[in-house]
């Protein structure tokens, strides 16, 4: 069995009074491309946010393992984990250029006070070229289409040069060209030995794109390699058990 990049133990998350994720214990395999699948409101985004400590879980642990094979909590490995949020709710009228946004991916490595150097800008420009946006480098960000914005945010994550990439629905509402570019890049990352975890909504493409699959609906429904776990039975159970779990979560 291959090693785990992220290990979750009994993770439970609640907003206000409703548990959104219930007792999730799970390992994400290192160097693989994993899809997180589940119906709307199943807690997929919450799972990612809880792993990044953007939401404080009620109980449970999240541990990361990088190339040194040591398990560590998130705050010690922040630099090695890159995150692409779902349709990022930033102010698109912000006075900044595309290249500037991608360069922000370098800031974490620089730490407090240090300025971005020429080398950082070059890395940012390279990532921008990878997503096919180099000609837009000097544009203000409000002039981009939805797919282009998504590619810029992927480039920003790439500029972080992390070991683990977490992406929340990167393919939602993007054009075919953007989808192809994003998936090719993610496969390249995996080929380099990096771990990629994607919240995915399109069941049709799971077998084509991913190695591993995780089914989530309020709790862990199933997990494993696509060849073994992506079965009709698991899909059906994940997408129809809403009421079941609803009852359980209604308990005080």
Partner 1 sequence: MEQLLALFSDYTFQIVALGTGFLGLLSGVVGTYATLRKESLLGDALSHAALPGIALAFLLIGKKDLVYLLGGALISGLIATALIQWISKKSTVKFDNALSVVLSSFFGLGLVLLTHIQGLENANQAGLEKFIYGQASSMLLSDVQLLLAVGAGILVLVLLLWKELKVFAFDPVFTQTLGFQTRILQFILSAMIILTVIFGLESVGVILMSALLIGPAVAARQWSDRLGVVLILAGLFGMVSGVAGTFISSIGRQIPTGPTIVLVLSLIVMISLIFSPKRGLIIRWVNQRRKKKAYIKQIEEKQERSEKYAR
Partner 2 sequence: MLVEIYLIAVVVALACSLPGVFLVLRGSTMLSDAITHTVLLGIVLAFFVVNDLNSPFLIVGATLVGVLTVWLIETLQHTKLLSNDSAIGIVFPLFFSIAIILITRYAGNVHLDADSVLMGELAFAPFRRMTLFGMDFGPKVLWSMLIILIINVLFITFFYKELKITTFDPGLAAALGFSPVFLHYALMTLVSLTAVGAYDSVGSILVVGFMVGPALTGYLLTHRLKRMILITLITAVFNSLVGVKAAFVLDTSIAGMIAVVTGITCLLAFLFSPSKGSIQAIRNRWKQRKNLKKQAASSHIKS
Q: Give the interface segment with partner 2, choosing from 27-35, 42-50, 53-61, 144-152 (CB under 8 A).
A: 53-61
Looking at the Cβ atoms of 14 and 52, the one nearer to partner 2 is: 14
Judging by beta carbons within 10 Å of its beta carbon (0-12, 13-18, 19+), is residue 100 exposed, middle or buried? middle
Q: Please, which residues have CB within 8 angstroms of residue 76's CB and are 6 or more apart in sequence? A: 64
89 binds partner 2 (CB under 8 A): no
Residues 92-151 that bind partner 2 (CB under 8 A): 93
Looking at the Cβ atoms of 160 and 234, the one nearer to partner 1 is: 160
Looking at the Cβ atoms of 55 and 131, the one nearer to partner 2 is: 55
Number of residues that bind partner 2 (CB under 8 A): 13
206 binds partner 1 (CB under 8 A): no
Residues 182-211 that bind partner 2 (CB under 8 A): none
d(CA 229, CA 212): 8
Among 10, 177, 180, 187, binds partner 2 (CB under 8 A): 10
* Closest separation in Å from C-beta 60 to partner 2: 8
15 binds partner 1 (CB under 8 A): no
177 binds partner 2 (CB under 8 A): no
Q: Give the interface segment with partner 2, choosing from 6-14, 36-44, 193-201, 210-218 (CB under 8 A).
A: 6-14
Looking at the Cβ atoms of 26 and 172, the one nearer to partner 2 is: 26
91 binds partner 1 (CB under 8 A): yes
Q: Give the interface segment with partner 1, choosing from 3-11, 17-25, 102-110, 183-191 (CB under 8 A).
A: 102-110
* Closest separation in Å from C-beta 140 to partner 1: 4
Radius of gyration of the chain (CA): 18
**Residue 233 vs residues 193, 214, 220, 228, 230: alpha-carbon distances, Å:** 31, 14, 15, 11, 8
Residue 141 per-residue DSSP state: G
243 binds partner 2 (CB under 8 A): no
Q: Yes or no: say if 121 and 151 are a contact pair by the CB < 8 Å rule.
A: no
Q: What is the DSSP string of 80-136?
A: GEEEE-TT----TTSS-BHHHHHHGGGHHHH-SSPPP-HHHHHHHHHHHHHTT-GGG
Extract the runs of DSSP E, i.e. beta strands, from the chain. Answer: 4-15, 18-29, 33-37, 59-65, 71-72, 81-84, 164-168, 195-199, 212-217, 219-225
Q: How are beta strands 33-37 and 195-199 bridged, if at all?
A: parallel
Residues contributing to the site for partner 1 (CB under 8 A)? 52, 54, 75, 78-79, 81-83, 85, 88, 90-91, 93-97, 100-101, 104, 107-108, 110-113, 115-116, 140, 156, 160
């Amino acid at each position: 069995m291959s090693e785990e990049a992220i290990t979750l133990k009994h993770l439970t998350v609640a907003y206000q009074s409703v548990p959104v994720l219930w007792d999730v214990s799970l390992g994400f395999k290192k160097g693989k491309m994993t899809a997180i699948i589940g119906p709307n409101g199943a807690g997929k985004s919450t799972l990612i946010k809880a792993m990044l400590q953007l939401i404080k879980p009620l109980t449970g642990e999240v541990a990361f393992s990088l190339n040194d094979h040591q398990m560590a909590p998130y705050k010690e490995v922040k630099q090695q984990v890159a995150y692409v949020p779902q349709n990022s709710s930033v102010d698109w009228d912000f006075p900044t250029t595309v290249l500037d946004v991608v360069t922000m991916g370098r800031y974490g490595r620089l730490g407090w006070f240090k300025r971005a150097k020429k080398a950082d800008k070059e890395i940012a420009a390279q990532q921008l070229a990878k997503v096919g946006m180099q000609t837009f480098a000097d544009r203000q960000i409000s002039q981009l289409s939805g797919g282009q914005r998504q590619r810029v945010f992927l480039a920003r994550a790439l500029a972080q040069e992390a070991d683990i990439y977490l992406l929340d629905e990167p393919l939602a509402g993007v054009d075919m060209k953007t989808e192809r570019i994003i998936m090719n890049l993610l496969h390249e990352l995996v080929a380099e030995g990096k771990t990629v975890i994607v919240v995915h909504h399109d069941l049709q493409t799971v077998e084509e794109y991913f190695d591993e699959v995780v089914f989530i609906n309020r709790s862990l429904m199933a997990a494993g390699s696509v060849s073994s776990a992506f079965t009709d039975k698991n899909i059906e159970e994940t997408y129809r058990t809403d009421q079941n779990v609803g009852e359980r979560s209604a308990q005080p």
